[in-house]
A and B are shown apart, each in its own frame.
Chain A
Amino acid sequence: AQKVTQAQTEISVVEKEDVTLDCVYETRDTTYYLFWYKQPPSGELVFLIRRNSFDEQNEISGRYSWNFQKSTSSFNFTITASQVVDSAVYFCALSEVNTGGFKTIFGAGTRLFVKA
């Protein structure tokens, strides 16, 4: 069975601090995909990144970076020099390849507060 755990319910930081959001996943599949989404106060989910299970390279996109480690089943997300606009709920998600299709399971989310 697949499972995504985001142990941090809420994180509060001051602007310009770096912050890491943790994500630990469980899966029996060897082929799977990991995602991060951002949910701002408006409610829509915004896609941030997808990573497949065969690509463990870390990725950097501006102030965002992701650390994928299969050995620890983790896919952590770091925001460097946080800004107030980063305040949102962030979801980590996992998709396994199931017969006939796919299903994406989300973690419970981490609410990030960035204070000015």
Chain B
Amino acid sequence: SQTIHQWPATLVQPVGSPLSLECTVEGTSNPNLYWYRQAAGRGLQLLFYSVGIGQISSEVPQNLSASRPQDRQFILSSKKLLLSDSGFYLCAWEEQGNTEAFFGQGTRLTVV
């Protein structure tokens, strides 16, 4: 069966520090991968999506970047965090062919 792992679950980082959130998927090949952010009390904002290794599409200009070094690994990074980067970050995967997306448990990031 397929599973998605996202870590860490919570993170408190100072302004200006780097960020690396990792997401891995097991039990499937060549999935579409997504990073979403949910600001407090708000909806989901698509940040990045990837349809293959090294293929990253960015939806909004921001202080973040994403990478897909392996087929089932998706990393969200920042060189210098801003206060506005605080939020709940969700990784998701779906099979090619647009079935439903399966979400990780999320990372609650607080930038202080």
A, B in one complex: yes
Is B55 a contact of A100 with CB atoms below 8 Å?
yes
**How distant is B84 from chain A, measured CB to nearest CB, in Å?**
18
Interface residues of A (CB under 8 A from B): 6, 33, 35, 43-45, 47, 50, 91, 93, 95, 97, 100-109
The contact sample of 6 A-B pairs, CB cut-off 8 A, is A33-B98, A43-B108, A93-B101, A102-B98, A104-B34, A104-B101
**How distant is A1 from chain B, measured CB to nearest CB, in Å?**
11
Total contacting residues, chain B, CB less than 8 A = 29
B interface, over-half SS: strand
Q: How far is the CA of A108 from the CA of B99 in the complex (A)?
A: 21
A interface, over-half SS: strand
Known: A45-B90, A102-B32, A104-B101. 10 other contacts (CB 8 A): A35-B100, A45-B92, A47-B102, A93-B101, A101-B49, A102-B98, A103-B57, A104-B34, A104-B46, A106-B46
